[in-house]
């Protein structure tokens, strides 16, 4: 997504990747391939952290939910994500969260790419988790507890299988049907899966514990008695004010890593901790500026909230792949004018005869 | 755009109106019809001013320009406009300003409508100007000076012809080719058009003076010597910090009307005036809460900067018209899931066989 593609897109409109086409793209390239490349794109962008303008998001709250616009830009590309959160949507048979994204050219303001972001978000969240675990978990980690077996769980499972080396899953969900769905979806993946009766049983003996629950209330999914030395905790589900998954004592006893400190202090597991509670931004670890895990016994926590830059990286992969595979459609969101100063004439809005007729019409 | 259309859109995706289709819609309904209905939609929304959440915009500045997101919402509909401003674009054969818009359902967050906004903005700006002049200009106004004959000028001319009763135009542009283009485009409109040698000549004898120049610098398009008693000044071109068209003394001697005071104090002609410089918000005049013109001799100024609510109103017209005419296409921006909790399975991302194969592949 460098500047050389500018002219290529100049006169061809906006490339549009629909939700069905994004799924087809993932089928064609293979889910493990997509996860691996997204993780690498995120790593690359995290290594050039300072290049990004990490603007504030705008949020419009209503009684049923929230609609947010999340912009992020570097010197070449601007992108913004549209995302909503409406907990009551499932009653209407709609998804709680829906997202799409636009990528534009910073130099000209031209919208380059419009894409679905529901599937892409599930992929990038899993890729981000795996990238953090590659960096923070013990290298010999093979067993993962997966607490919460909803919409994101299979993506987490496959990312950890292919990018971290997990071979065994110990899964639990308050809804047994969710676990059954996960087992059915991952049949043939090569993962050994044990369905457990509660979180403690699932966590027992795990090298990594991934929590990806959907509870909106302040939940205590993990309590200190479940934690074993050397565990890596991948806390994905706690991602907004009032939504956490970990008991506070776990955080006190662990080394905590976050994506972007200002955002995580509001939205993350650390939202109840004092402002000077020590956290480490992951990009500094990736750059070698900060240590990751200090010992094999240390408990590490990746307090993941999802950050706009990760969408930017994931989109870079989806857009480049779509262009390479000749997927997506061209949209004419912006008029192509033969003369930019002659909008009226270029669009051939009215002929002189029509103008006369309309004029009479109105006068009559 | 009331709530009854919610179910209709629930399972049919987002309606997309492209730039060519928006032009076709205007051709089919007739430009005067579209201008008249947009003006009425703006009036209706201005009358319920307090119902809108007039959020701040986000702006991403770069060396070549700016990209902005402008959200606005009422209890039922949320919309945001993407718009850029890149003065150097014309060198590349691109438009300086490009815009598109998304309308979503507040109750669910579902994106309902995606539309071009370049043509729609030109229409709504002209409709807004005409609505203000209907309210503020002397009723017997028949002659309009049109200073600046660029992309927006024909829309202004036709809006004032059909909605205000203007029969004669006195036009001027520093670029004679722009005026020639305007004359050619409006051939057959029934308007009597005189091309003038300078602004003073154009303004002489005019009932209304519309300035719609593109100069980015602090220009003095209108000076006090050009102003005659009872004139209405429609100042469209001065619309961002550092971009004005009127000499300050004109404002001091006139009654000034704006769209939304906080925005106009930053972006409008009044940007150099002290914070207590008296202005009148137009919606209060439309509601009958404030007087408009106080006498036939008074000079009135509509200091127009373009406000997100006007886009919302204009979009309401374009969307309703597209639905009524069966225009636009359905987009699948959001995946339609048979089970919202089973993103992985619903999208049929991988078959068990493919999972096995991919697993071997990566391991090999």
pLDDT of residue A7: 42
Mean pLDDT for the stretch of residues A18-33: 94
Mapping DSSP to helix (H, G, I), strand (E, B) and coil, where does residue B44 land? helix
pLDDT over 80 at B352, yes or no: no
pLDDT over 90 at A58, yes or no: no
Alpha-carbon distance of B82 to A356, in angstroms, equals 35
Contact B299, B229 (CB under 8 A): yes
Among A131-140, A282-291, B214-223, whose mean pLDDT is lowest?
A: B214-223
Mean pLDDT for the stretch of residues B217-228: 85
pLDDT over 80 at A77, yes or no: yes
pLDDT of residue B23: 94
Alpha-carbon distance of A208 to B186, in angstroms, equals 71
Q: How confident is the model at residue B273 (pLDDT cuts 50, 70, 90)?
A: very high
Q: Check CB contact under 8 Å for B345 and A184.
A: yes
Please report how many Cα atoms fall inside a 13 Å half-sphere around the Cα of residue A233, on the Cβ side: 31
How many percent of chain B have pLDDT more than 70? 89
pLDDT over 70 at A8, yes or no: no
Complex ipTM over 0.90: no
CB-nearest to B32 from A82, A188, A362 is A362
Q: Check CB contact under 8 Å for A107 and B358.
A: no
Q: Check CB contact under 8 Å for B82 and A111.
A: yes
Token pair recorded at residue B247: 């000499």
pLDDT over 70 at B204, yes or no: yes
CB-nearest to B116 from A96, A114, A333 is A333
Confirm whether A239 is a catalytic residue: yes
Q: Check CB contact under 8 Å for A341 and B187.
A: no
Average pLDDT score over chain A? 88
Mean pLDDT for the stretch of residues A256-261: 93
Mean pLDDT for the stretch of residues B125-148: 97
The catalytic residue positions of B are 239
Mean pLDDT for the stretch of residues B194-198: 97
Among A20-29, A40-49, A305-314, whose mean pLDDT is lowest?
A: A305-314
Nearest Cα residue to B277 out of B265, B286, B267, B285: B265
Mean pLDDT for the stretch of residues A305-326: 92
Q: What are the residues whose beta carbons fall under 8 Å from the beta carbon of B189, sequence distance 6 or more?
A: A352, A355, A356, A359, B157, B158, B161
Mean pLDDT for the stretch of residues A306-329: 93
pLDDT of residue A239: 65
pLDDT of residue A180: 97
Show the domains of chain A with their CATH numbers. Answer: 3-119+310-344 (3.30.1780.10), 138-307 (3.40.50.720)
pLDDT of residue B355: 60
Active site residue: A45, A207, A239, A303, which one? Answer: A239
pLDDT over 90 at A354, yes or no: no
pLDDT over 60 at B10, yes or no: no
Predicted structure pTM score: 0.84
Residues of A with CB below 8 A from B162's CB?
A: 358-359, 362
Which range of A83-87, A169-173, B237-241, B301-305 scores highest in mean pLDDT? It is A169-173
Q: Check CB contact under 8 Å for B71 and A69.
A: yes
- The shortest C-alpha distance from B154 to chain A (Å) reads 7
CB-nearest to B55 from A53, A60, A362 is A60
Residues of B with CB below 8 A from A190's CB?
A: 355-356, 359
pLDDT of residue B229: 97
pLDDT tens track for B75-120: 999 999 999 988 888 788 777 888 999 999 999 999 999 999 989 9
Q: How confident is the model at residue B238 (pLDDT cuts 50, 70, 90)?
A: low
Q: What are the residues whose beta carbons fall under 8 Å from the beta carbon of A65, sequence distance 6 or more?
A: A84, A85, A86, A87, A88, A89, B107, B108, B109
The alpha carbon of residue B124 and the mean position of all alpha carbons in its chain are separated, in whole angstroms, by 4
Mean pLDDT for the stretch of residues A179-201: 96
Alpha-carbon distance of B267 to B42, in angstroms, equals 21
User: How far is CA A216 from each of CA A212, A308, B71, B107, rounded to the nearest angstrom?
Assistant: 12, 21, 26, 18
Q: How confident is the model at residue B239 (pLDDT cuts 50, 70, 90)?
A: low
Residue of chain B nearest A76, judged by CA positions? B62
Q: What are the residues whose beta carbons fall under 8 Å from the beta carbon of A25, sequence distance 6 or more?
A: A17, A34, A318, A321, A322, A325, A327
Residues of A with CB below 8 A from B118's CB?
A: 334-335, 343
Nearest Cα residue to B233 out of B267, B199, B209, B264: B209
The dihedral through the CA atoms of B244, B248, B251, B257 has a sign that is positive
pLDDT over 70 at A358, yes or no: no
What stretch of H or E contains A77? strand A77-85
pLDDT over 80 at B4, yes or no: no
Phi, psi at B82, each rounded to 5°? -95, 125
Residues of A with CB below 8 A from B354's CB?
A: 27, 30
Q: Check CB contact under 8 Å for B118 and A345.
A: no
Mean pLDDT for the stretch of residues A262-273: 87
**What is the C-alpha radius of gyration for chain B, rounded to an integer number of angstroms?**
23
Mapping DSSP to helix (H, G, I), strand (E, B) and coil, where does residue B218 land? coil
pLDDT of residue A55: 67
Give the Cα-Cα-Cα angle B61, B67, B70 (nearest 5 degrees): 120
Per-residue exposure over A62-78, b if at least 16 CB sit within 10 Å of its own CB, e if not: bebbebbbbbbbbeebb
pLDDT of residue B46: 95
Q: How confident is the model at residue B67 (pLDDT cuts 50, 70, 90)?
A: very high
pLDDT over 70 at B329, yes or no: yes
Mean pLDDT for the stretch of residues A216-220: 66
Residues of A with CB below 8 A from B355's CB?
A: 186-190
Provide the angle, in degrees to the nearest 10, between the axes of the packed helices A352-363 and B31-47: 50
Alpha-carbon distance of A248 to A251, in angstroms, equals 5
Per-residue exposure over B318-349, b if at least 16 CB sit within 10 Å of its own CB, e if not: bbebbbeeebbeebebbbbbeebbbbbbbbeb
Which range of A2-11, A73-82, B139-148, B257-266 scores highest in mean pLDDT? It is B139-148
pLDDT tens track for A173-182: 999 999 999 9
Q: Check CB contact under 8 Å for A60 and B82.
A: no
Q: Is B34 exposed, middle or buried (0-12, 13-18, 19+ CB in 10 A)?
A: buried
Mean pLDDT for the stretch of residues A334-351: 80
Per-residue exposure over A238-267, b if at least 16 CB sit within 10 Å of its own CB, e if not: bbeeebbbbbeebbeebbbbbbbeebbbeb
């Amino acid at each position: 997504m460098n500047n050389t593609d500018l002219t290529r897109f100049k006169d061809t409109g906006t490339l549009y990747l629909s939700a069905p086409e994004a799924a087809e793209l993932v089928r064609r390239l293979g889910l493990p391939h997509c996860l691996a490349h997204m993780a690498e794109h995120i790593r690359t962008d995290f290594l050039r952290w300072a290049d990004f303008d990490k603007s504030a998001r705008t949020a419009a709250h209503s009684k049923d939910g929230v609609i947010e616009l999340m912009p992020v830009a570097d010197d070449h590309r601007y992108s913004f994500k549209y995302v909503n959160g409406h907990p009551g949507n499932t009653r209407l048979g709609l998804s709680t969260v829906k997202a799409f994204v636009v990528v534009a050219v910073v130099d000209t303001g031209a919208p380059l790419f419009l894409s679905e972001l529901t599937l892409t978000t599930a992929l990038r969240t899993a890729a981000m988790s795996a990238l953090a675990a590659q960096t923070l978990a013990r290298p010999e980690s093979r067993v993962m507890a997966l607490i919460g077996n909803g919409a994101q769980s299979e993506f987490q499972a496959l990312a950890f299988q292919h990018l971290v080396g997990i071979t065994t899953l110990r899964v639990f969900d308050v809804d047994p049907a969710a676990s059954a769905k996960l087992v059915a979806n991952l049949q043939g993946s090569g993962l050994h899966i044990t369905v457990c009766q509660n979180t403690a049983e699932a966590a027992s003996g795990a090298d990594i514990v991934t929590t990806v629950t959907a509870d909106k209330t302040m939940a205590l999914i993990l309590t200190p008695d479940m934690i074993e030395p050397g565990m890596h905790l991948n806390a994905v589900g706690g991602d907004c004010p009032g939504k956490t998954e970990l008991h506070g004592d776990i955080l006190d006893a662990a080394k905590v890593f976050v994506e972007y400190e200002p955002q995580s202090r509001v939205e993350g597991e650390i939202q109840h901790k004092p402002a000077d509670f020590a956290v480490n931004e992951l990009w500094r670890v990736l750059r070698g500026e900060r240590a990751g895990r200090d010992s094999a016994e240390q408990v590490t926590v990746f307090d993941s909230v999802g950050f706009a830059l990760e969408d930017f990286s994931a989109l870079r992969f989806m857009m480049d792949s779509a262009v390479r595979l000749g997927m997506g459609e061209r949209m004419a969101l912006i008029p192509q004018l033969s003369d930019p100063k002659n909008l009226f004439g270029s669009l051939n809005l009215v002929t002189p005869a029509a103008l006369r007729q309309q004029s009479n019409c109105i006068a009559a």
